[in-house]
């Protein structure tokens, strides 16, 4: 019997945040086509949402939308939230920061396409700053390249989110891996370690053998690829 149904396109972009978590905890789920709900059914489901991902929880017959909300719900269900008030809040902040990076890396979800000058400015300033924000957060809580996690000694939803963000991004665009190793070497190591966890590795190996270095698809991805050196 399934625990969840995840409605999202066959793309890593935002879907991997949820899929990596479900793989980590061993949940039984299937990925369903986004078009099964979006856009025609998005206003009729319980807890309607504007766009995928949607997560259907079988036991409660409830839909959840918005990637950060879905991750926080799952983290509570599977005890993947830090216990202290500060780090509990930082877990949510980290997920929201990841969501902001997704918005910015896609130039506000394709409102405009990248040009060389604007991409160069973003990559050297905003993207570098984002990487350093995660690095400083991890360093404060004992993260090392070969040990520790973003918010302490135990893996949490924040580590899954950061790996889904930067692991996916640097696989799709290897040149950005140099940026991550420069601005956030401990985070780069964290992503490698989380991606090496047994269930996550098996999932990523299968996904990447099928999709290659696909990221978000369409004109947005094409625009990003034109910017890579």
**Model confidence over 213-223: pLDDT tens digits?**
999 999 999 99
Question: Treating both helix axes as pointing N-terminal to C-terminal, what angle do 67-77 and 15-25 enclose, rounded to 10 degrees?
Answer: 10
Q: What is the pLDDT of residue 51?
A: 97
Helix, strand and coil in the chain, % to nearest 5: 60, 10, 30
What pLDDT band is residue 62 in, cutting at 50, 70 and 90? Answer: very high
Mean residue pLDDT of the chain comes to: 98
Tell me the percentage of the chain whose pLDDT exceeds 90: 99
Residue 160: strand, helix, or coil: helix
The residue extents of the domains of the chain are: 4-77, 85-227
Task: Say if domain 85-227 classifies as CATH 3.20.20.140.
Answer: no
Query: Is 0.85 surpassed by the pTM of this model?
Result: yes
R_g of the chain computed on alpha carbons: 17
Task: Quick: pLDDT tens for 162-203.
Answer: 999 999 999 999 999 999 999 999 999 999 999 999 999 999
Whose structure tokens read 């580590």?
159
Q: Are the beta carbons of 152 and 87 closer than 8 angstroms?
A: yes
Q: What is the pLDDT of residue 198?
A: 98
The tokens describing 148, both together, are 């520790």
Q: What is the pLDDT of residue 229?
A: 72
Q: What is the DSSP letter of 125?
A: I
What pLDDT band is residue 8 in, cutting at 50, 70 and 90? Answer: very high
Whose structure tokens read 């879905």?
70
Per the omega criterion (within 30 degrees of 0), is the bond before 39 cis? Answer: yes
What pLDDT band is residue 145 in, cutting at 50, 70 and 90? Answer: confident
Task: Say if domain 4-77 classifies as CATH 3.40.50.410.
Answer: no
CA distances from 109 to 71, 105, 204, 218, 219 (A): 21, 8, 24, 11, 10
The tokens describing 159, both together, are 């580590």
Confidence check: pLDDT of 142 > 80: yes
β-pairing, 29-32 vs 54-57, is: unpaired
């Amino acid at each position: 019997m399934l625990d969840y149904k995840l409605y999202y396109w066959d793309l890593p972009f935002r879907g991997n945040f949820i899929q990596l978590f479900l793989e980590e905890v061993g949940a039984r789920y299937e990925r369903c086509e986004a078009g099964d709900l979006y856009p025609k059914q998005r206003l009729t489901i319980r807890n309607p949402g504007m766009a995928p991902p949607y997560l259907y929880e079988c036991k409660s017959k409830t839909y959840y939308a918005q990637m950060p909300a879905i991750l926080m719900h799952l983290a509570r269900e599977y005890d993947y939230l830090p216990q202290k008030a500060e780090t509990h809040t930082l877990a949510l902040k980290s997920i929201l920061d990841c969501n902001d990076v997704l918005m910015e890396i896609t130039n506000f979800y394709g409102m405009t396409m990248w040009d060389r000058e604007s991409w160069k400015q973003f990559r050297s300033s905003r993207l570098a700053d984002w990487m350093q924000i995660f690095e400083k957060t991890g360093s404060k809580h004992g993260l090392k390249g070969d040990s520790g996690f973003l918010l302490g000694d135990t893996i949490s939803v924040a580590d899954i989110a950061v790996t889904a963000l930067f692991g996916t991004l640097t696989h799709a665009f290897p040149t950005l891996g140099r940026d991550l190793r420069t601005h956030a070497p401990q985070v780069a190591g964290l992503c490698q370690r989380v991606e090496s966890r047994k269930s996550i590795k098996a999932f990523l190996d299968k996904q990447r053998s099928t999709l290659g270095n696909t990221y978000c698809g369409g004109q947005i991805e094409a625009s990003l690829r034109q910017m890579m050196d």
